[in-house]
């Protein structure tokens, strides 16, 4: 149950696009189409942004998109806005009905 690998930080200017990667193994990201992405603002609970690799829940902006290739999943945020500044975590279903999270990526909007 090793954590998925995410970059510690990414940044971008308003209006730009950024991509956050999430690398696992064939036992988690590569083995299941159950990758999710969560946004967490400081002091707040996480919020589901993407599930099942690329599906946005109702109410989530279409500026958020995601995909997966092999053992690596990616979250892309287009048209960056100030309110997107937050920590982002990927998660993946793993073997034996367990869940593994990424270490988290701090997004800074310059």
Residues within the interface to other proteins (CB under 8 A): 1, 3, 34, 36, 38, 40, 45-48, 51-52, 57, 89, 91, 93, 96-104
Closest distance to other proteins from the beta carbon of 62 (Å): 18
Q: How far apart are CA 20 and CA 66, in angstroms?
A: 9
Nearer to other proteins, 12 or 104 (CB): 104
Cβ proximity to other proteins, 47 vs 63, nearer residue: 47
Beta bridge partners of 110: none
DSSP symbols for 63-82: TEEEEEETTEEEEEE-S--G
């Amino acid at each position: 149950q090793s954590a998925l690998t995410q970059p510690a930080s990414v940044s971008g200017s308003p209006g730009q696009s950024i991509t956050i990667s999430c690398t696992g193994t064939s036992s988690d990201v590569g083995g299941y189409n159950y990758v999710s992405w969560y946004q967490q603002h400081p002091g707040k609970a996480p919020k589901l942004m993407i599930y099942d690799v690329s599906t946005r829940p109702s109410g989530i902006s279409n500026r958020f998109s995601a995909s997966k290739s092999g053992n690596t999943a990616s979250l892309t945020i287009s048209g960056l806005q100030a309110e997107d500044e937050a920590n982002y975590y990927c998660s993946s279903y793993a073997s034996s009905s367990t869940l593994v999270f990424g270490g988290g990526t701090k997004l800074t909007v310059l």
